[in-house]
Amino acid sequence: MAAKDYKELEYEVKLTEDILSEESIEARNETMKGFYTEYFSKQAVDLRITVLPLQAAKKQQASLKTRKSCV
């Protein structure tokens, strides 16, 4: 179940005006941290892995969500 929960959380993004603001990114990083080891948490932030879905939502100007059949 943890993998499913992680993927749903990773790819369910609600488009907001401030989606790429520092506060929004920090909140997302904090939310995702529970799924990562300490080492990968730092890597995910440094490499901006946690921000990729936010950037996709901003570029597409649409919220993102997983399709239940794909998870």
Q: What is the mean pLDDT of each run of 10 residues along the chain (71 residues)?
A: 87 95 95 92 92 96 83 51
Q: How many domains does the chain have?
A: 1
In 3D space, the residue among 37, 38, 44 whose CA is nearest the CA of residue 53 turns out to be 44
Three-state secondary-structure class, residue 42:
helix
Q: Which two tokens stand for residue 64?
A: 């993102």
- What proportions of the chain, in percent to the nearest 5, are helix, strand and coil? 60, 5, 35
Report yes or no on 35 lying in a domain: yes
pLDDT of residue 1: 65
pLDDT of residue 50: 93
Question: Which DSSP category does 13 fall into?
Answer: B
Report yes or no on 70 lying in a domain: no
Its domain, for residue 12, covers 2-60
Report yes or no on 34 lying in a domain: yes
